[in-house]
Structure 1
Amino acid sequence: MRILKQGRNQRQSKFSRLRIDPSILNQKFVKLDNGAPNEAYIIKGYGNVVFMCYQENGENFITILDKDDYEDIKDSLWEGFNEYVVKKEDHKVYLHRVLCRGVITNMIVHHRGSRFDNRANMLEPVTPKEHDRRRTYFDDLVIL
């Protein structure tokens, strides 16, 4: 298994999207067969984490979710838009905004880690000013 950093800014350690080679998914992960529109996987013995697949511009990526949160959102079709996970209704609904508790008017959600990590403890509501101070430029993380 090789881990590659792919993108524009080689100095950053945060990532926007995660790609895992399908052969590794099938070898190391257990697929959840629950009829959801997005394929999802778990790793046995790795806690309550779900790895949900989505597509952006024809490419396959993965986002990480808490299992309870996955159960709440699994019936919707999620896809990528500008390196975020969204569902399309009358407007785009961003997954990280749906999952972050405590977001009120004039606040936005900040990823404490990488954008593909949408676990509750990795998301926090912040003011736009706080978000600008913490802004990070992201690359893709590829696991082959």
Structure 2
Amino acid sequence: ESAEGDVLITRAHAHRTPPRTPPEPVPDGPPVPDATLLSAAIRAIRAGDLASTTPRRHGDQARPATGELPRTSSAETLATMQAAVLTGEALWIGYVNAEGAASQRVIAPIRVEGGFVTAYDHTADEVRTYPLHRVTGVAELAED
């Protein structure tokens, strides 16, 4: 630089940085997707719309006629979510978003960890992560 702060390049073809090196090829090939998420996505795709049209149950009782999801304690919600991960079953949950709007979702939990559940959401048709403290209730879907 000059005393005035100007950049001085002595040659017209001079570079200020060294040329970039080409990337090295990956010897093992392309990355492999997480097998757990992949198998969960396949299960969810095969389930299709069945979960959204199946009558729901909570324990031995049918769901209330008003269509409201029964409320569950946080311990019961966590235990039901963990059991669904192991069995691969879909669940019906009540959920309150960050703005306080309540909704009902049909999900197939993939993993439960760190206060969050990662699940295939049949309602949104994609894999999403939900904070467990925003789940108001959970029920298993009725068997045919």
For normalisation by structure 1, the TM-score amounts to 0.25
- Higher RCO (CA < 8 A, seq sep 6+): 1
> Which protein has the bigger strand share?
1
Q: Which has the larger radius of gyration?
A: 2
For normalisation by structure 2, the TM-score amounts to 0.25
